Structure 1
Amino acid sequence: MGKNYHEYLWVGGGLDTNFSCMNIPGRTIWKEIIKAGKMADDTGASFSSSFSKKLGNGNTILFWDEIWCGSERLGDTFHRLYMLESNKDATVADRIINVNSTSTSNWCWVRPPRGRALNEILELNNLISSVTLTDQSDSWKFNLDSTGIYTTKTLSQIINNLKLGIHASAILIQRNKFTPQKVNFFAWRVIQRKIPIRVELDKRGIDLDTILCPLCDTDTETIDHTFVTCPKTSQIRELILTWWSQAITSITNLGDVIINNQSFTSNNIGSSLWQATKWIVCYIIWKHRNLKVLLKKEWSPATIVSEIQTQSYSWISKRSKKKKPIEWQQWLINPSSYVVTSSHRVGVG
């Protein structure tokens, strides 16, 4: 096959995920690239078709077989001319020549075009008439970002948006310094949908007595139901919002539960504390879900909220470095007032 696998994997406008990894011996980086590309495509991100060639001097872009002018390969659009081409591997620089700052075509046919092929020449000449080659090398353009530059951060944001909804673009999932590592990790697992929800266990062939939500016993247990639409979760959320003096608003997706901190957009400390509280809410809801499954024990929403208040105070106060410590009574009555009046430095924790 040749040693330069990338020449086979990058086809037209992106990554050729139909290329068989079996053709590549051993565990090479290109196998991993193909695998990662397919995984990204499965999220709906269209990663494999997200790259296109950006024309520079035209020395490395195939004139007929790569997408560089328009949305299709010229060999497909002008099929009759393609069949008459003497060198189907000709580059753009082979077929377009700059003369006195003017682009001129440089055709090489196996025989002179005639009939409908003459009409195709007129159309093709008109299409490439505005093309100007430069002294810069050809490059790749990432079409999913306005800058045209690919970064892992950008792709992560795109995938988060697809999975979580529009609020995912507001902030990347990053460690919250007010919560312990286990809560940070749990929030990440929720976002990635990597917790053992009954529906997912059932899909994997695990025999369960029921796939109903153990918290409410009224609907199928999915991750969106558990943290977004479950009636018991909704009761807990309303009590938490009231405790924080926040308006009771409808929650539609996981992005609202884990990421969206728009109530405190003007206060970074407030956003971090509010996010920490929401993550702790999810963590303790999942804890009580497991207690219901394993021990058949059940607590009221008010009791669970009381535990959330106590646990959040313990974790957050230990990780907050300020001259005056957080007062328990102030935290219990109205933590949002603490956010407004405090001026402290966040600890690493």
Structure 2
Amino acid sequence: MISGLSMELGNGRTIQFWEDRWLPPGVLKDIFPRLFSVSTLQGSVIRDCGFWDGLEWIWSFQWRRELFQWELDLVHQLHELLQSVKPTTEKENGVVWKFDKTGVYSTASFGKVLQAEVLPEEITSYSFTRAVWKGLVPPRVELLTWFVLIGRVNTKDRLCRFRVIAQQDNRCVLCDKAEETAFHLFLECETTWKVWCAWLLALGRQWSLPGTLNDHFESWTELSVRKVDRKKWFIGFFAVIWTTWLERNGRLFRDHTSSMEDIINRSFRYSEKWSGVDPIGC
């Protein structure tokens, strides 16, 4: 939890809770798409998503149906994000970022707060936690990648450990050949590995399978490349992670399967969009 975080929102009468960008990580419907899809408060302003209990603001949400256990885990993550954020009754809406003397949010400062107050010491000691928060990709993409690297993304093995799904339902959504762990889904799976290989080929590199996702990130981002290629190489890592997660969720929740070519091309398009350049130099 982020004990020192305070956002001054004003009265919350004009900002939509799910749809507007009023929190540093991004738009809540993009960060928590599953919760947004089952919320009865779509289109509601912040003031209508909670109530005052004396001097304390209580966030209160309503859902179209009873939530699954893994969805309740998402609700818990949402409450952690919101715990020190509250509207006021005395001023109009505005956002102040308390962890920067200018009052202006940056993903770098948000990442430092998360590292200092959310993560245990054994995680913050890894160099990758700081390297993730550079502001080169959308905040929701940084957040997902960070969750992947610290082992907090809800892959099937994690859901099995929490007894959200049965052990026999733990197969990888992309290949159906192994247990869906973060390492398998984002690196070892034959589908994902083909995407990584496409990037390596496009940038003229060769690779061997790393031992961990953390090793992969550190090796990928620290590899000596030409200065002109450094940014697109770095962004490429996030693009593959994001593309893999979207494809996995599309197959799992919408029964939609993309071709291998489409998955690879999508990762390059994301990189191009985020960097403003052609990721393969064409």
Give the TM-score, by structure 1 length. 0.42
The offset of 1:315, in angstroms, is: 1.6
User: Aligned to 2:241, which of 269, 275, 282?
Assistant: 282
The offset of 1:196, in angstroms, is: 0.9
Cα deviation, 1:133-159, whole Å, max 9, x if unaligned, reads xxxxxxxxxxxxxxxxxxx88xx8972
Query: Could you tell me which amino acid in structure 2 is paired with residue 180 of structure 1?
Result: P
The offset of 1:240, in angstroms, is: 1.4
The offset of 1:170, in angstroms, is: 7.1
Cα deviation, 1:287-313, whole Å, max 9, x if unaligned, reads 000111112222222211111111211
**Structure 2 counterpart of 1:193:** 151
The offset of 1:160, in angstroms, is: 4.0
Distance in 2 between the 1:285 and 1:315 partners?
A: 17
Tell which has more relative contact order, 1 or 2 (C-alpha 8 A, sep 6+): 2
Distance in 1 between the 2:204 and 2:121 partners?
A: 33
User: Aligned to 1:300, which of 259, 262, 265?
Assistant: 259
Does the CA contact (< 8 Å) of 1:236 and 1:302 recur in 2?
Answer: no
Does the CA contact (< 8 Å) of 2:128 and 2:214 recur in 1?
Answer: no
**Structure 2 counterpart of 1:212:** 171
Distance in 2 between the 1:252 and 1:300 partners?
A: 28
The offset of 1:199, in angstroms, is: 1.1
**Structure 2 counterpart of 1:262:** 222
Query: Could you tell me which amino acid in structure 2 is paired with residue 159 of structure 1?
Result: E
Say if 2:141 is the partner of 1:178.
no
Query: Could you tell me which amino acid in structure 2 is paired with residue 177 of structure 1?
Result: G
The offset of 1:233, in angstroms, is: 1.1
Query: Could you tell me which amino acid in structure 2 is paired with residue 188 of structure 1?
Result: W
Distance in 2 between the 1:170 and 1:185 partners?
A: 13
**Structure 1 counterpart of 2:160:** 202
The offset of 1:171, in angstroms, is: 7.4
Does the CA contact (< 8 Å) of 1:198 and 1:212 recur in 2?
Answer: yes
**Structure 2 counterpart of 1:159:** 122
Question: Percent of pairs identical after alignment?
Answer: 17
Give the gaps of 5 or more residues in structure 2.
1-114
The offset of 1:258, in angstroms, is: 2.8
**Larger Rg belongs to:** 1
Structure 1 runs of 4+ with >6 Å offset: none
